[in-house]
Amino acid sequence: MENISKKDLLWIYRKMKTSRYFEEKMEKVYLEGKQPVFNIGAGPVPGEMHLSNGQEPAAASMIVHLTKNDTVTATHRPHHEAIAKGVDLKKMTAEIYGKKTGLGKGKGGHMHLFDPDVKFSCGGIVGAGIPHAVGAALANKKRGENWVAVAFIGEGAANTGAFHESLNLAALWNLPFIVVIEDNKWGISVAKKNATSVTSNAIRAKAYGIKGYSVKDNDPIEMFKVSKEAVERARKGEGPSIIEIKTYRYLGHFQGDPELYRNKEEVPKLKEKDPIERLKKEMLKENVATVEDFKKMDAEIYKEVDKAYEFAVNSEYPEPEDALEDVFC
């Protein structure tokens, strides 16, 4: 922790906390209209909902090293990355509500958020965003800029063809590309040990002659350090990296997942080591911020997120026939 600036620590805390509060609010809102009988298509936020509670360090401790010019592609569980990358929170929330004022005018929804202003995109097909980040990295190299592209994926995506094709290309062309694997242990209901032939995806880096890093126990500080090195190397033209972080999935694969496949004690145990609380404690101990500072910061965060939700709720729905627009430009 001694090598991390106060500014960076505060930034990481703020982004993690914003994401957590956003998700906790979404948990509640999502259930509106879905009780007593759960109906996935009902309520103000219909459709699948994949929340990232517990996975915040992967996003914040990497994206703290990125600028607006660096590209991020994310997954079907994208909110923590979107928030860290600086996606417009109001427009993002409105998109999730299916409103006209959303990032995609209500055509994308929570799995398909696109904010070209901050070079953020995500998608609902596991592994598919990896080659997009490779393409962005290729574009950066062609332009002669030292911008990087980071693909965030789950550990399940490390078994797709897209992952291996992308890493071969990125290594072959020595691109400023990083893949961050958020190992939350579960691919929906199938445990990593039943899906992946190796215990750590970081060692798969060897197959491509690139750097592989492992981050233990959802540690925001360790993730910060490793990401810093990988980003610096990418910017200097020293090639791509794989970073795998062992992270926690507090909730089901999606909201409404009965989670019969995992032990009831798993999540409470993980929550005891909550990364946000852990970081906060460390920061207090090291006098990076005071209890008062945290109170103030949290109040600001709640206000910002609440405002985004208000904006979404108060926005208009699209006209039905707007569905016919934007197929082509």
Of 103 and 289, which CB lies nearer to other proteins in the complex structure? 103
245 forms beta bridges with 182, 215
Q: Return the number of other C-beta atoms located less than 10 Å from residue 144's C-beta.
A: 6
We find the least distance from the C-beta atom of residue 318 to other proteins, in angstroms, to be 9
**Looking at 138, 148, 158, 205, which residue binds other proteins (CB under 8 A)?**
138
CA 303 to chain centre: 22
We find the least distance from the C-beta atom of residue 150 to other proteins, in angstroms, to be 12
Q: Draw the binding track, 47-86, toward other proteins (x: CB under 8 A; -: no contact).
A: ------------------------x-x-------------
Residue 165 engages other proteins in binding (rule: CB under 8 A): yes
**Looking at 106, 156, 212, 252, which residue binds other proteins (CB under 8 A)?**
106
CA distances from 31 to 90, 302, 304, 315 (A): 20, 20, 22, 20
* Residue range at the interface with other proteins (CB under 8 A); choices 111-119, 216-224, 270-278, 295-303: 111-119
Of 115 and 274, which CB lies nearer to other proteins in the complex structure? 115
**Looking at 149, 153, 221, 288, which residue binds other proteins (CB under 8 A)?**
149
**Looking at 46, 98, 108, 220, which residue binds other proteins (CB under 8 A)?**
108
CA distance 94 to 233: 37
| CA 188-137-52 angle, 5° bins | 25
We find the least distance from the C-beta atom of residue 83 to other proteins, in angstroms, to be 18
Residue 156 engages other proteins in binding (rule: CB under 8 A): no
Which helix or strand (DSSP H or E) is residue 133 part of? Answer: helix 129-143
Are the C-beta atoms of residues 157 and 147 closer than 8 Å to each other?
Answer: no
We find the least distance from the C-beta atom of residue 156 to other proteins, in angstroms, to be 15
Residue 12 engages other proteins in binding (rule: CB under 8 A): no
**Looking at 31, 42, 44, 112, which residue binds other proteins (CB under 8 A)?**
112
Residue 320 engages other proteins in binding (rule: CB under 8 A): no
Of 133 and 288, which CB lies nearer to other proteins in the complex structure? 133
Nearest one of 157, 140, 14, 145 to 74, comparing CA atoms: 157
- For 74, phi and psi rounded to 5 degrees? -130, -170
Q: Return the number of other C-beta atoms located less than 10 Å from residue 100's C-beta.
A: 15
- For 182, phi and psi rounded to 5 degrees? -90, 100
**Looking at 134, 148, 230, 289, which residue binds other proteins (CB under 8 A)?**
134
We find the least distance from the C-beta atom of residue 305 to other proteins, in angstroms, to be 22
- For 180, phi and psi rounded to 5 degrees? -105, 120
Residue 234 engages other proteins in binding (rule: CB under 8 A): no
We find the least distance from the C-beta atom of residue 1 to other proteins, in angstroms, to be 35
> What dihedral do alpha carbons 271, 258, 129, 232 form, nearest 10°?
10
We find the least distance from the C-beta atom of residue 142 to other proteins, in angstroms, to be 7
| Matching residue, tokens 């997954």 | 75
CA distances from 247 to 63, 197, 219, 244 (A): 16, 19, 8, 9
* Residue range at the interface with other proteins (CB under 8 A); choices 82-90, 113-121, 209-217, 276-284: 113-121
| Percent of residues in the chain assigned helix, strand, coil, to nearest 5 | 50, 10, 40
Residue 226 engages other proteins in binding (rule: CB under 8 A): no
Residues that bind other proteins (CB under 8 A): 71, 73, 102-108, 112, 114-116, 119, 121, 123-125, 128, 130-140, 142, 149, 161-162, 165-166, 168-169, 172, 325-329
